[in-house]
A and B are shown apart, each in its own frame.
Chain A
Amino acid sequence: AQKITQTQPGMFVQEKEAVTLDCTYDTSDPSYGLFWYKQPSSGEMIFLIYQGSYDQQNATEGRYSLNFQKARKSANLVISASQLGDSAMYFCAMSADSNYQLIWGAGTKLIIKP
């Protein structure tokens, strides 16, 4: 069965520090994709970054990078130089070729302290 695990229900981080949000996954599919989404308190779900299982390089998008460790089945999101506006829920999700449906983690609530 496919599964996404986010073990950190909540995190407090000082502004300007880097933060790592953990995500581990489980799938037997050789081809899959991993996504991170941000959900501020206003409710919209914002796509941040994508990593394909065959991608050789770790994905990066501005201040976001994905630390993809395939053997360990982890896909941690790294936010560099955190800002107050980064305070939100962060969800890790996975999609495999055998099943289009996105499997979601439970989310991590990130609070950036000034």
Chain B
Amino acid sequence: EAGVVQSPRYKIIEKKQPVAFWCNPISGHNTLYWYRQNLGQGPELLIRYENEEAVDDSQLPKDRFSAERLKGVDSTLKIQPAELGDSAVYLCASSLVRGGNNSPLHFGNGTRLTVT
């Protein structure tokens, strides 16, 4: 089966510019996650979707970050405007059911964002 697909792989932008990341989860996976990973740290959850519903966005900085998953399949994460501190790897993951005890998350290759 095809894995989680993310694009772009790398993105370099100047601060205050907008940026968007795209994710296509594994077919049939209802749950989709966006994580941010800073260098040398574990991933930090930004938002989780069950189908098209955002069920946990408590960690999403809503003043500049937004996300959507309109048809319950692929998803877009946007930052506007970007700040220097947003430089990180943005990982998308999906799982068959609500991620948990016996439903591992499957990750994409990530988008490495550099804000200059």
Contact = CB atoms under 8 A, between A and B. Distances in A.
Contacts of A106: 40-42
Contact of A102 (B45, B102, B106, B108): B45
B8 to A, nearest CB: 13
Contacts of B69: none
Contacts, number: 63
A102 B102 CA distance: 12
Interface stretch (B14-22, B60-68, B78-86, B91-99): B91-99
Size category of the A interface is 20 to 34
A96 to B, nearest CB: 8
What secondary structure prevails in chain A residues at the interface with B? strand
A107 B40 CA distance: 8
Interface string A91-114: 101011100111011110000000
B91 to A, nearest CB: 6
A50 interface: yes
B107 A44 contact: yes
A45 B107 contact: yes
B105 interface: yes
Contacts of B104: 35, 47, 50
Interface of B: 40-43, 45, 48, 56, 89, 91, 93, 98-102, 104-110, 112
A31 B110 contact: no
Contact of A95 (B42, B89, B100, B108): B100
Residue of A93, A96, A101 most packed against chain B (CB within 10 A)? A101
A89 to B, nearest CB: 9
Q: Which 6 A-B pairs have the closest CB atoms?
A: A104-B42, A33-B101, A45-B107, A47-B104, A44-B109, A43-B110
Residue of A96, A101, A102 most packed against chain B (CB within 10 A)? A102
Given A106-B41, A106-B42, A107-B41, A46 B107 contact: yes
